[in-house]
């Protein structure tokens, strides 16, 4: 099905042009150097509220901060006193969320005696539980976590045989992240050689399907593999190489893959040096048999004096966004590319520069996507801070949010100076309006009104998202206030 977009008076057109983005300002998440700034991650909770996690690698603590409508709130330390976790610029704790369930996982050091743990929030990242042990044996590293729609939690982590031999990835499950985890099962199966012992993995879910992405090491051939479970992470029966770059390297890449799954399609990104330069790759595959679809370098014309690393992908269906770290002439920046028409148009769109401070040295980006809005976070080495920006797709109507499009629900005038009207609301029961940070600024129950006036006069000029809810109805549109 082709995606339909709605603009102004909501005349449907097929979008074939570059994706337009409305960017928020650059917002400081944390600039307290006592709390660190290493390898941040971002997720979204109910009402599209972002939550950012990061580590302090000098004393190896983990912190979380949640958007409160005006700024990011006071950071919460989620690791117990006296516990030190593995945290480096290339690998650190992981975080995932679904609804208001937020789960953080980390590896305790020294790894010869430490284990893998999780802490869980059920209130959107405001408070967190005590630790729950995931792994049974020491000599484990690189935990990655995913939260399913039923709030069950799966954690993938690297495990070794005695003597640091035969590194491989295993997966353990908990019904809610608060109850004990099951015994871990091996997920890298028949892959030749061993898992790359310096490369983090990525795990994510879609219904009963779990996908684990990892970099393999077969006599220094370090390409990306996928392992798929179709029974809610109980077994991983499909394991296959999904990378055709054939990167041979005797040194450690210290970089892993990132992926997303929507319907039966798997989209994933990673760094490869097979071309002679470290470059961001992107590809697609069928999640049922891991047959590779499109597979290409994101920026094939980038100069040889440049390098790229740590790409992260986020999106839903044909909405795809990839963020990465790029170094040119000794300056490290965060780049972002986005498409509303899937991979075919990704290379045709402009690449956005995310960080706005010309004096920054930006590294380790992360991105999450929901309801037409990309949440992006990164660390800055020079200011020793963590920053955040959001990017809202202009004229976004996601087919995942729209189950019934009632073209007679007319919003007018649009744009306007603050007073908007919505007509023909007979099928609408609730209206919500969000600002560009994903915070609800207006909510009203509708009772058989034929027309409703929305007054946004007190709010600043910019773009707002309005959602209309009703029986068999969930519709998203954009308001423009000047």
Can you name the residues that pair with 473 across neighbouring β-strands?
A: 470
Together in a domain, 357 and 458: no
Q: How do residues 381-433 score in pLDDT, each as one tens digit?
A: 999 999 999 999 987 765 443 333 344 467 888 888 889 888 777 778 788 88
Nearest to 65 by CA among 75, 55, 54, 77: 75
Residue 13 has pLDDT above 50, yes or no: no
Give yes or no: residues 367 and 425 share one domain: no
Residue 450: the pLDDT is 66
310 Cβ neighbours under 8 A, 6+ residues apart: 90, 255, 271, 324, 325, 363, 364, 365
More confident position, 366 or 317: 366
Report the range of poorest mean pLDDT among 37-41, 87-91, 363-367, 444-448. 444-448
Any idea what the CATH number is for the domain that residue 449 is in?
2.60.40.3080
Do 207 and 331 share a domain, yes or no?
Answer: yes
Q: Specify the pairing of strand 430-434 against strand 462-470.
A: antiparallel
Q: Token pair for residue 442? A: 């207006």
| Pair (364, 299) in one structural domain | yes
C-beta separation of 168 from 195 below 8 A: yes
Paired tokens of 374: 């990309």
* Structural domain range at position 442: 411-481
Whether the Cβ atoms of residue 236 and residue 171 lie closer than 8 Å to each other: yes
> Does any domain span residue 15?
no
Q: pLDDT tens for residues 283-301?
A: 999 999 999 999 999 999 8
Contact 439, 47 (CB under 8 A): yes
Lowest mean pLDDT of 192-201, 214-223, 297-306, 342-351, name the range.
342-351
Instruction: Tell whether 202 and 103 lie within a shared domain.
Output: yes
Q: Is residue 98 part of a domain?
A: yes
* One domain for residues 263 and 360: yes
Q: Are 169 and 201 in contact, with CB atoms under 8 Å apart?
A: yes
**Burial class of 240 by CB neighbour count within 10 A (0 to 12, 13 to 18, 19+):** middle
Mean pLDDT of 78-84: 95
State the total domains in the chain. Answer: 2
Same-domain check for residues 322 and 451: no
Do residues 144 and 252 both lie within one domain? yes
Q: What is the pLDDT of residue 396?
A: 77
């Amino acid at each position: 099905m082709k995606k339909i977009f709605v603009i102004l008076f909501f005349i449907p057109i097929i979008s074939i042009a570059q994706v337009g983005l409305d960017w928020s300002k650059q917002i400081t998440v944390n600039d307290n150097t006592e709390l660190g700034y290493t390898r941040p991650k971002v997720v979204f909770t109910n009402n599209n509220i972002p939550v950012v996690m990061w580590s302090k690698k000098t004393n190896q603590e983990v912190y979380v901060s949640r958007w409160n409508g005006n700024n990011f709130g006071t950071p919460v330390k989620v690791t117990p006193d006296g516990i030190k976790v593995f945290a480096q610029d290339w690998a650190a704790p992981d975080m995932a969320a679904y609804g208001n369930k937020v789960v953080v996982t980390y590896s305790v050091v020294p790894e010869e005696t430490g284990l893998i743990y999780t802490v869980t929030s059920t209130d959107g990242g405001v408070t967190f539980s005590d630790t729950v042990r995931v792994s049974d044996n020491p000599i484990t590293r690189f935990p990655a976590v995913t939260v399913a729609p039923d709030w069950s939690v799966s954690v993938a982590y690297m495990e070794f045989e005695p003597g640091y031999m035969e590194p491989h990835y295993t997966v353990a499950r908990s019904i809610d992240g608060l109850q004990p985890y099951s015994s871990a099962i091996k997920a890298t199966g028949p892959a030749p050689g061993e898992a790359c012992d310096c490369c983090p993995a990525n795990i994510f879910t879609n219904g009963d399907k779990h996908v684990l992405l990892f970099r393999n090491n077969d006599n220094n051939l370090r390409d990306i593999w996928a392992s798929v479970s179709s029974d809610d992470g109980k077994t991983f029966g499909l394991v296959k190489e999904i990378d055709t770059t054939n990167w041979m390297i005797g040194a450690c890449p210290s970089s892993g893959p990132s992926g997303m799954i929507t319907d039966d399609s798997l989209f994933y990104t990673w760094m490869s040096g097979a071309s002679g330069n470290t470059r961001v790759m992107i590809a697609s595959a069928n999640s049922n048999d891991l047959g590779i679809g499109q597979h290409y370098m994101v920026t094939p014309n980038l100069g040889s004096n440049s390098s790229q690393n740590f790409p992260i992908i986020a999106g839903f269906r044909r909405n795809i966004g990839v963020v990465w770290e790029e170094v040119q002439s000794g300056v490290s920046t965060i780049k972002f590319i986005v498409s509303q028409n899937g991979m075919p148009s990704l290379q045709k769109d402009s690449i956005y520069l995310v960080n706005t401070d010309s004096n920054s040295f930006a590294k380790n980006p992360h991105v999450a996507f929901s309801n037409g809005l990309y949440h992006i976070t990164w660390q800055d080495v020079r200011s020793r801070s963590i920053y955040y920006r959001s990017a809202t797709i202009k004229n976004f109507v996601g087919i995942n949010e729209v189950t019934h499009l009632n073209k007679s629900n007319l919003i007018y005038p649009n744009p306007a100076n603050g007073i908007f009207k919505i007509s023909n609301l007979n099928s609408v029961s609730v209206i919500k309006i969000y600002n560009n940070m994903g915070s609800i600024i207006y909510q009203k129950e509708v009772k058989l009104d034929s027309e409703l006036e929305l007054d946004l006069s007190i709010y600043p000029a910019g773009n707002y998202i309005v959602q209309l809810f009703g029986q068999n109805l969930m519709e998203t549109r954009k308001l423009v206030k000047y």
